[in-house]
Amino acid sequence: MVNELVLASGSPRRQELLKQMGISYSVRITGLDESKITNSDPKKLVEELARLKGENISLQEGQVVLSADTVVSYKDQILTKPTNAKEALTMLSNLNGNTHVVYTGVMIRSKSQASLFSVATEVEFWDMSNVDLKDYVDSGEWKDKAGGYGIQSIGAFLVREIRGDYYNVVGLPLSLVLRQLKEFSIYPSFPKEKVSEEEK
């Protein structure tokens, strides 16, 4: 039996990644007040947030919930989503020319089983000019993104190198998530190549 996936996230990046893999899902937003959850360890923080988001969703038989949370860690500071342009510029100025770590925690849960894990990816920024950073912030792309940038779009020009899972930086460690979803009878659906009569 194939189960039904419920994504406990309003993130358009996570939704797009699942669509790319041909995975059908419905979206339910948890309404969890993340600001009340604090932990100085970024790995433990993202796992705790992912767990709470997942446990906040009531499930029917045959449903599986996928929840996730992403933060940026730099010099023992945890950077979440900036609330305004000034805060975004401060974050990016701190990350500028340096290496930070992106952590994503993931919870996959059904009525009978659960899997909780996290993935870390190192990201090194180029040493950008203040003008470049200000121009990026003015684009508005920093909104709703941990650390104030989006690696999958304009923010790619900030990044010199990554070490680890690229998709983890986008918001979901896709390869590991897909492997775990199979344990819950959720499978990707890849398109079939159209083969002409001559190729058969």
Reply yes or no on whether 135 is catalytic.
no
Which of 33, 41, 69, 138 is catalytic? The answer is 69
CA–CA gap between residue 13 and residue 92 (Å, rounded): 20
The H or E element containing residue 195 is none
Torsion of CA 169, 175, 176, 182, to 10 degrees: 140
φ and ψ at 76, to 5 degrees?
Answer: 65, 10
For residue 120, count other CB atoms closer than 10 A to its CB. Answer: 17
For residue 115, count other CB atoms closer than 10 A to its CB. Answer: 17
Catalytic residues: 69
